[in-house]
Amino acid sequence: MAVGPKKRLADYGLNSERLLWPTKGPGVFETELGELEDKLMLSTVQKAVAWAQGSSIWPDTFGLACCAIEMMSIVSSRYDIARFGMEKFSSSPRQADLLIVSGRVAHKMAAPLRQVYDQMLEPKWVIAMGACASSGGMFNNYTILQGVDKIVPVDIHVPGCPPRPEALMEGIVRLHEKVLAGVPPAYQIRGAAS
Q: Which residues in this chain contact ligand SF4 in the complex, by CB under 6 A?
A: 65-67, 103-104, 130-132, 137, 161-162
Q: How far is the CB of 156 from ligand SF4 (least distance, A)?
A: 15
Our CB check for ligand SF4 shows the closer of 59 and 130 to be 130
Measured CA to CA, the distance from residue 160 to residue 19 in angstroms comes to: 38
DSSP string, 129-159: EHHHHHH-TT--STTB-S-GGGTS--SEEE-
Q: How far is the CB of 137 from ligand SF4 (least distance, A)?
A: 4
Q: How many CB atoms lie within 10 A of CB 178?
A: 18
Q: Identify the CA nearest to 152 among candidates 109, 95, 88, 94.
A: 109
Q: How far is the CB of 139 from ligand SF4 (least distance, A)?
A: 7
Our CB check for ligand SF4 shows the closer of 77 and 140 to be 140
Our CB check for ligand SF4 shows the closer of 10 and 167 to be 167
Q: How far is the CB of 164 from ligand SF4 (least distance, A)?
A: 11
Our CB check for ligand SF4 shows the closer of 10 and 65 to be 65
Cis peptide bond N-terminal to 123, omega within 30: yes
Measured CA to CA, the distance from residue 111 to residue 178 in angstroms comes to: 28
